[in-house]
Amino acid sequence: MDYKNAGVDIEAGYKSVELIKEHIKRTTRPEVLGGIGGFAGAFDLKKIAQLEDPVLLSGTDGCGTKVKLAFLLDKHDTIGIDCVAMCVNDIACSGGEPLFFLDYIACGKNYPEKIAQIVSGVAEGCVQAGAALVGGETAEHPGLMPEDEYDLAGFAVGVADRKDMITGENIKAGDVLVGIASSGVHSNGFSLVRKVFQMSTDNLIRYNSELGRPLGEALLEPTKIYVKALRSVKDAGITIKGCSHITGGGFYENIPRMLPDGTCAKVKKNSYEVPAIFKLLQDTGKIEDHVMYNTYNMGVGMVLALDPADADAAVKALEAVGEKGYIIGEVAGSDVKETVIC
């Protein structure tokens, strides 16, 4: 008896590491120290020390049950982007710059080529965010997980000068809400998605006329990474008073997280076009509006609170970097800190 017969293939692990090295190299930053394969990822802090009052920001998350679609479609090269996005977007909406990222893949059986596909997506997400992939772990769990399945999670660290942090403390009644378009469902609410739509390969790969592409392709569309979008607004000289990443809990849970006491957010439902994937999901599942806005991003992945005089300039700054921005509502005085969809 040996470890391989017990279900853990050490040689497959070695092969996985070799296959992912080329992807990791794409993400390097000047601050990264050492090569690939050390026990810890090292990152030089000299540049951070140059900030007036540096604050480290961190985020950790996974992709939820969206990975089930990757299994069904045997497509694993984008799910890593989702994992990175879920972590770095939280850092960015606090005013931070993502610095480095680590991933954790738990699998029933280590198939090196599949692991390499997953990490290629992680690396692409890191490139989009400007973060270095400094380490990770692939853990083989025979008997705990089916051989053809895996779970993916990540952890990111970023930095901000304290004076540049987005805290929401200066938001006041009359401020404008600007939404930045999402790329689709992102990585939340997939347990409901999988109840609404038939999760068969045939149904997922079949062309859907309402979407203009197959359903599975629309659902697997990677989560948008907003690091560069938010930087474009800041570089335009605009102060972002508050920022909310629309993840699990949708509009109702996430927008109030950026609001100070004594205010509420009023979102105008018809201020932008809701993408077709959400309309199809709602119609097919006969889902009430409140549930949709309490579960999904509904086409808006990030919401900014701005001075009214800056709203149009922010939309233009976003358009200049290829992002869609919408003026979706305003902040109002209220005894209850909440989101009102009207």
Does 315 score more than 90 pLDDT? yes
| Average pLDDT rounded to a whole number, residues 63-82 | 97
Q: Domain spanning 176-341: which CATH class is it, in words?
A: alpha beta
Burial 265-279 (b: 16+ CB within 10 A, else e): bbbeeeebeebbbbb
Which band of pLDDT confidence, cut at 50, 70 and 90, is reported for residue 157? very high
- Cα 85 → chain centroid: 3
Does 43 score more than 90 pLDDT? yes
pLDDT digits (tens, 9 = 90+) for 263-283: 999 999 999 999 999 999 999
Q: 16-20, 106-110, 199-203 — which is least confidently predicted?
A: 16-20
Q: Which of 168, 156, 328 is nearest to 225 (CA)?
A: 156
Fold of domain 10-164:
60s Ribosomal Protein L30; Chain: A; (3.30.1330)
pLDDT of residue 12: 72
pLDDT of residue 15: 78
Cα–Cα dist 158/59, whole Å: 9
pLDDT digits (tens, 9 = 90+) for 221-271: 999 999 999 999 999 999 999 999 999 999 999 999 999 999 999 999 999
Where along the chain do its domains lie?
A: 10-164, 176-341
* pTM listed for this prediction: 0.95
Does 2 score more than 60 pLDDT? no
pLDDT of residue 73: 97
DSSP code of 273? Answer: P
**In whole angstroms, how large is the CA radius of gyration of the chain?**
21
CB proximity list for 269: less than 8 A, separation 6 or greater = 289, 341, 342
Q: Which of 61, 59, 52 is nearest to 100 (CA)?
A: 59
Higher pLDDT, 304 or 42: 304
Which band of pLDDT confidence, cut at 50, 70 and 90, is reported for residue 6? low
Three-state secondary structure call for residue 52:
coil
Does 119 score more than 90 pLDDT? yes
pLDDT digits (tens, 9 = 90+) for 181-220: 999 999 999 999 999 999 999 999 999 999 999 999 999 9
Question: Can you tell me which residue has the tokens 């050390």?
Answer: 38
Does 150 score more than 80 pLDDT? yes
DSSP string, 118-185: HHHHHHHHHHHHT-EEEEEEEEE-BTTB-TT-EEEEEEEEEEEEGGG---STT--TTPEEEEEE-SSS
